[in-house]
Amino acid sequence: MDILPLLLKTLHYAIIMNGLAIWRYKKTTWLIFFINRIHYPFYR
């Protein structure tokens, strides 16, 4: 059994998952920041 293709596939999957997690985190924090900027004057 060749281990290299499995290793590359795992690495590729990990990179994709990591990128998606980072993108989702950035999008969520930006969305929270945006909503807070919009609603902040109404709460004060």
**1-44 per-position pLDDT tens digit:** 788 899 999 999 999 999 888 888 888 888 888 888 877 665 55
pLDDT at 44: 52
Please count the other Cβ atoms lying within 10 Å of the Cβ belonging to residue 5.
9
User: How many structural domains are present in the chain?
Assistant: 1
Annotate 8-37 with b (16+ C-beta within 10 A) or e (fewer): eeeeeeeeeeeeeeeeeeeeeeeeeeeeee
By residue range, what is the domain housing residue 1?
1-44
Q: Phi then psi for 22, rounded to 5 degrees?
A: -65, -45
Q: DSSP H helical segments within the chain, as ranges?
A: 4-43
